[in-house]
């Protein structure tokens, strides 16, 4: 009879791929702040990252289709060629956008594959991937903000004495207990 030892949860995490995912999305957040300071676009980017996490975690079978059925008639072949030319022009026109999207997707796919090899459930994998994506993006946004607006220009609620005075206003004896 063999006893299966429980391995620590930290050893089950693919730290290298998670670090790569975090750095990739931190870079994306940094670039996103440089592109726009509009918070509605940041929210749309976060929603897009969540959708990308779902696509990476739950890949559809419809992604792997064959082109053989499209070439049965000349009309279908013509439509496919016209569609392929439009897509290739769009790809070449917005090449940087497509390269960024592919890098973001492959970083998430790497974590998804690592967690699949470690036999994690799909909902937990989705939670980890989306969590790391959003954490990385918000870290990049925050770091770019701190780069452009150094610490001396931060709003007043970032300083500890603001919170001590705020708590002292609510609970007057709190600040006196800290002086002990």
Work out the pLDDT band at 37, boundaries 50, 70, 90: confident
Q: Are 104 and 28 in contact (CB under 8 A)?
A: yes
Whether residue 62 is predicted with pLDDT greater than 50 in this model: the reply is: no
Token pair of 49 as six digits? 């990252």
Instruction: Give 23's pLDDT tier (boundaries 50, 70, 90).
Output: very high
Q: How confident is the model at residue 19 (pLDDT cuts 50, 70, 90)?
A: very high
CA-to-CA separations, 65 to 41, 53, 69, 157, 173, in angstroms, rounded: 33, 21, 9, 54, 69
Domain ranges of the chain: 14-60+68-149, 152-180
pLDDT of residue 59: 72
pLDDT digits (tens, 9 = 90+) for 64-112: 454 455 556 667 767 777 888 888 888 788 788 888 888 888 898 889 8
135's CB contacts (< 8 A; 6+ apart) are 22, 25
Whether 17 contacts 110, CB under 8 Å: yes
| Res 1 pLDDT > 70 | no
Alpha-carbon span 168 to 175, nearest angstrom = 6
Q: What is the rounded average pLDDT for all residues in the chain? A: 78
The per-residue pLDDT for 47 is 92
- pLDDT above 70 coverage of the chain, percent: 73
- The answer, yes or no, to whether residue 27 has pLDDT greater than 90, is yes
Please give the span between the terminal C-alpha atoms of the chain, in angstroms, as a whole number. 59
Note the pTM of the prediction, 2 decimals: 0.66
User: Where is 128: in which H helix or E strand?
Assistant: helix 122-148
Q: What radius of gyration, in Å, describes the C-alpha atoms of the chain?
A: 24
Share of the chain above pLDDT 90, in %: 17
Distances (CA, A) of 157 to 160, 165, 172: 8, 11, 19
Cα–Cα distance, 35 to 37 (Å, whole number) = 7
Pick the residue with more confidence: 93 or 27?
A: 27
Decide: 115 and 14 in contact? Cβ < 8 Å: yes
Lowest mean pLDDT among 29-38, 43-52, 90-99, 113-122: 90-99
Q: What is the pLDDT of residue 3?
A: 59
Secondary structure (3-state) at 123: helix
């Amino acid at each position: 009879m063999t006893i299966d030892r429980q391995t620590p949860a930290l050893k089950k995490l693919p730290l290298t791929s998670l670090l790569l995912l975090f750095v990739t999305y931190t870079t994306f957040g940094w670039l996103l702040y440089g592109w726009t300071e509009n918070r509605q676009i940041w929210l749309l980017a976060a929603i897009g990252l969540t959708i990308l996490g779902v696509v990476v975690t739950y890949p559809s079978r419809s992604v792997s289709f064959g082109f053989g059925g499209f070439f049965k008639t000349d009309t279908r072949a013509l439509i496919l060629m016209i569609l392929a030319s439009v897509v290739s022009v769009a790809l070449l026109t917005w090449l940087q956008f497509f390269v960024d999207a592919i890098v973001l997707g492959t970083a998430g796919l790497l974590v998804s594959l690592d967690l699949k090899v470690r036999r994690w459930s799909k909902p937990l994998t989705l939670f980890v991937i989306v969590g790391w994506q959003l954490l990385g993006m918000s870290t990049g946004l925050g770091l770019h903000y701190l780069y452009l607006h150094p610490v001396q220009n931060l709003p007043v609620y970032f300083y500890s004495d603001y919170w001590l005075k705020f708590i002292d206003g609510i609970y007057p004896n709190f600040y006196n207990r800290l002086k002990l």
